[in-house]
Structure 1
């Protein structure tokens, strides 16, 4: 009888390979990254936004409290101003002075106070009445029997005497719980401000209703005016014990009338009253609750959507991957860098190998093309220079110079020397004629303009501006002179009358760049001619048959060749011209000479 043996716990290579696929790795990796990002972002956003919401709510509460305190001070100031005017009224002063001198005040005199008091009450209707008392506490107005020490507690009279004319707030009127009392001592101005009596005002409690004008929102805020005894002074009703508990509580969050509030307490030094600003806790935490709900909902929806998108994306990547490998083996476009990452998935390992092989071939090809472009540019410049036989030219110019000096033609001899230096600059010596400084290039421009002065005479004036910081900036040789030549050829010579050339080299608004401007006052160009010129610079046919120099097209090509790479690439030539207004040609170069300059000088230093 045969026995069947089964080994348990052995690995299953086939199943393991099926799990270790690019599709599963992308799906699981994306899912984990998404969960981590959502979690971290959610916690961060919740913490920051909840902190901001709490701060905004606290600032709002503090602002409300400050506004309420300011309004209370303004209301108190109005009462103080009114009572001061009434106390200093000439009639009031005279009646109290008569009383102090022992003269009896008649009924008609007391009756005359009615018109005065009525005028002040008409100005401020919230003042229910004004009561005037003599220095010995007798009621002088209104016309009835009464005594000040029986009307209010004596401690308020003592405080009014101590304040010497400043307002003293008493609180709720014992005779009318809908009114508040305030008293001040009346000082007699004709008796060196001695005590002449007392003026007491009865103000309606609704005058101190601070909540409605300040709320301005649906936050449900309550603003209460309470004295130290826990009595509500403004309009409204509240239990005495509840208000006293609010005053004594040190907590920021309090319970009042079966609701939870955030409390802010301010004290008025003028009245010795307390201002309580109560904001519902629900208003403070409402934004945080909404934020929590939004974050949870958006996180859940985002996770579900990301699961679906990850599944679809992983399927889309793995299906065409074999076709992508075959296509990449034939591809030789772009500039790429090798990928040194080691991967375990078979498809990605093959893809990585193919990609690195392609990058190697492409970089070699790009390097060859680049060197050919640089060589072609240098060859074109050499061809231009080779059009003149150097030895014959220099010997001939030297002979002219000697001959002119012997004949005393020093000015013409100077012109010949300038021309000789100009051609020596153009031809130069091999290996050292690609880059010069801006200062050297402008010396060449000066020599050229001096020679042109000999031909054009008074028809040509020129000016060169060079910032000292720009003189040492490296620049390819013959980059500015062709533009000046073009300005004379098409600007000065085409103008009737005197022409002017202005060359300016200054720091650019771009950090690390220099600005170069060549301007003439020639006839300018129309919009159609300017558009055609831009077409020529882009590689189109030439629009002019005048001149055989390097020209603007060659300058444009060299700008793009030397400065066209990298993130800070130059924009090339910018030309601004209008009929009758001349022409401005402008371009910018980096002060470090660009990538080509750095590479060439590294090559020279390496060879040295």
Structure 2
């Protein structure tokens, strides 16, 4: 999981995510601020509109009431009506003919104003003058209302819905007799159709789906554009509250008429106040998404433009990881990145020059070390050969001298030849050289040494560096067979390796073997390339190990040593059949 996340933690992704995070924060803050400010403005405008509608409706209602008030005032101050009511006050009964003429006079006023159902006149003792049928005022309204009218003097008192006709509204005022020092002369009762208070002009002018209702002091509905199922108790005295009606929410605005005490209720759908906010929210969200998408594309393009030259440089560096240093030929238009690219190219040029110099020096050093190693081996071998001569001359006599000289001449001819062309020989050559050495050593050690060379014919033509096997045979005799008290055996085997394309060479002796500590010290000397020993034990093995490393580098695994105390020692190595070494 961590590795997977680490692969995505690139510079381009960091730049991209950083830009996107900053932009999203900015868009969120701007959108939140705009939404908050504009939504407050929209709510305020909606509330102002609702209040303005309420003021207009209340103003129209006052105008309608004023018309009725003016009409009733004209009727109450009419000269004919004043004269006839004055006679009634003085105790003179008005005749039926006079009442008929009075009714005609009243009908004229009814025609002046639309919505007037009728105008009725009553005497101070509540008898009816108009209409002509006998009906007392107490039959029309309650005594409490009559008392209220008396308390208000000559002012018009609105009673609300007519108890006898729910489709009309009743208003009453006293008639003051101007010739009688404004004494109480009777009553004027006005009956108005409820449709007169419909406030249709205001309702049709609104575009907010507002509904209105007009209720008298008793809560009875005079006019309403509400549904028929809505009762007055659901909407009255709820000014400023949110009301749920018919599954929809409304904001209630209530105004009370000072003249009548009636309540005007206006219901505005809540979604009207939030309609603009919803549109605003949608606009901000769409704008934010569009801005985020646009900035996402631009951020991706910008981050790619910034990081592409760096990625090209990284690819060039990765391609040069294994010594094949290459210049980055892709240029960048950015000054800093181009300077980085130029610096890398200069470094590549310098490193290539340095690698070439080091490589040439290493070749020279390798050849020098090979010459030094051969020079180390040859005098040592020559010393052992001379020692063999000494023992042969002392023990056996002169008749075998010729045989020894022949063997020695072959040895010297093989070793002393220093031609660079003969640095590499075949395994067959090395085995012949080892056989001559073993023959000489057999003449020196007599029955104490037995040897056998067992080689696969196909392996005899495999190339290898000269004098690579003989030091191992010499080590097996000196540190193996010679350390035994009785006869010893040295076996040299050459077989194809289990690894395809390799040949395995094994030298085995049945000497006393080595302890684990001794083997560890030899391995340590092989790693360091130097054997610290006064007698030189193991010098041949160390030299062979170094030559394997120098010629074959990583194609050969070096010497393998297996030994147990009392059971002998086996030294083996594997070389590639193609003979490809460092010097080639």
TM-score (norm 1): 0.49
CA contact (8 A) 2:160 2:217 kept: no
Residue 308 (structure 1) aligned to one of 290, 297, 300 = 297
How far apart are the structure 2 equivalents of 1:224 and 1:9?
70
Deviation at 1:230, TM superposition (A): 2.2
**Change in CA separation of 1:325 and 1:308 when aligned onto 2, cut-off 3 Å:** closer
Residue 187 (structure 1) aligned to one of 159, 170, 176 = 176
After superposition, what is the alpha-carbon deviation per residue over 1:340-381, rounded to whole angstroms, capped at 9, x for unaligned? xxxxxx649979xxxxxxxxxxxxxxxxxxxxxxxxxxxxxx
Residue 113 (structure 2) aligned to one of 96, 102, 124 = 124
1:429-444 alignment to 2 at 5 Å? Answer: none
2:241 is matched with 252
2:355 is matched with none
The structure whose Rg is larger is 2
Matched, 1:19 2:10: yes
How far apart are the structure 2 equivalents of 1:198 and 1:349?
109
Residue 162 (structure 2) aligned to one of 154, 162, 173 = 173
**Change in CA separation of 1:19 and 1:259 when aligned onto 2, cut-off 3 Å:** closer
Q: Secondary structure at the match of 1:105?
A: coil
Deviation at 1:211, TM superposition (A): 4.8
CA contact (8 A) 1:211 1:222 kept: no
1:321-336 alignment to 2 at 5 Å? Answer: 324=333
**Change in CA separation of 1:118 and 1:237 when aligned onto 2, cut-off 3 Å:** farther
Q: Secondary structure at the match of 1:277?
A: strand
After superposition, what is the alpha-carbon deviation per residue over 1:436-476, rounded to whole angstroms, capped at 9, x for unaligned? xxxxxxxxxxxxxxxxxxxxxxxxxxxxxxxxxxxxxxxxx
How far apart are the structure 1 equivalents of 2:338 and 2:207?
61
How far apart are the structure 2 equivalents of 1:247 and 1:233?
13
CA contact (8 A) 1:242 1:256 kept: no
1:104 is matched with 93
CA contact (8 A) 1:205 1:235 kept: no
Deviation at 1:54, TM superposition (A): 1.2
Matched, 1:287 2:273: no
Matched, 1:198 2:187: yes
Deviation at 1:306, TM superposition (A): 1.3
Deviation at 1:114, TM superposition (A): 2.8
How far apart are the structure 2 equivalents of 1:30 and 1:294?
23
Structure 2: unaligned runs, 5 residues or longer: 311-330, 342-584
Q: Secondary structure at the match of 2:176?
A: strand
After superposition, what is the alpha-carbon deviation per residue over 1:185-221, rounded to whole angstroms, capped at 9, x for unaligned? 0000011111000000000000101255344233211
Deviation at 1:314, TM superposition (A): 3.5
Residue 58 (structure 1) aligned to one of 35, 44, 47 = 47
Deviation at 1:246, TM superposition (A): 2.0
- Residues 119-128 or 108-117, more deviating: 108-117
Q: Secondary structure at the match of 1:289?
A: helix
1:39 is matched with 28
How far apart are the structure 2 equivalents of 1:213 and 1:308?
53
Deviation at 1:101, TM superposition (A): 1.0
1:202-213 alignment to 2 at 5 Å? Answer: 202-213=191-202
Residue 125 (structure 2) aligned to one of 136, 139, 152 = 136
After superposition, what is the alpha-carbon deviation per residue over 1:516-544, rounded to whole angstroms, capped at 9, x for unaligned? xxxxxxxxxxxxxxxxxxxxxxxxxxxxx
Matched, 1:72 2:72: no
CA contact (8 A) 2:211 2:225 kept: no
Q: Secondary structure at the match of 1:271?
A: coil
1:440-589 alignment to 2 at 5 Å? Answer: none
After superposition, what is the alpha-carbon deviation per residue over 1:566-603, rounded to whole angstroms, capped at 9, x for unaligned? xxxxxxxxxxxxxxxxxxxxxxxxxxxxxxxxxxxxxx
Q: Secondary structure at the match of 2:278?
A: helix
After superposition, what is the alpha-carbon deviation per residue over 1:113-148, rounded to whole angstroms, capped at 9, x for unaligned? 233222222211211100000111100011110100
- Residues 90-99 or 257-266, more deviating: 257-266
Residue 134 (structure 2) aligned to one of 145, 153, 162 = 145
1:297 is matched with 286
CA contact (8 A) 2:212 2:224 kept: no
CA contact (8 A) 2:240 2:253 kept: no
Q: Secondary structure at the match of 2:134?
A: coil
How far apart are the structure 1 equivalents of 2:79 and 2:246?
51
Structure 1 vs Structure 2 CA RMSD: 3.1
TM-score (norm 2): 0.51
Structure 1: unaligned runs, 5 residues or longer: 1-7, 327-345, 352-608
1:278-427 alignment to 2 at 5 Å? Answer: 278-316=267-305, 324=333, 347=337
Deviation at 1:323, TM superposition (A): 5.4
Residue 152 (structure 2) aligned to one of 136, 144, 163 = 163
Deviation at 1:157, TM superposition (A): 1.0
Deviation at 1:257, TM superposition (A): 4.3
CA contact (8 A) 1:264 1:276 kept: yes
**Change in CA separation of 1:347 and 1:291 when aligned onto 2, cut-off 3 Å:** same
**Change in CA separation of 1:315 and 1:238 when aligned onto 2, cut-off 3 Å:** closer
How far apart are the structure 2 equivalents of 1:349 and 1:42?
42
Deviation at 1:45, TM superposition (A): 1.2
Deviation at 1:282, TM superposition (A): 1.8
2:256 is matched with 267
**Change in CA separation of 1:141 and 1:29 when aligned onto 2, cut-off 3 Å:** same
How far apart are the structure 2 equivalents of 1:147 and 1:316?
101
CA contact (8 A) 1:128 1:203 kept: yes
Q: Secondary structure at the match of 1:261?
A: strand
Deviation at 1:19, TM superposition (A): 2.6
How far apart are the structure 2 equivalents of 1:38 and 1:229?
56
- Residues 248-257 or 30-39, more deviating: 248-257
CA contact (8 A) 1:206 1:235 kept: no
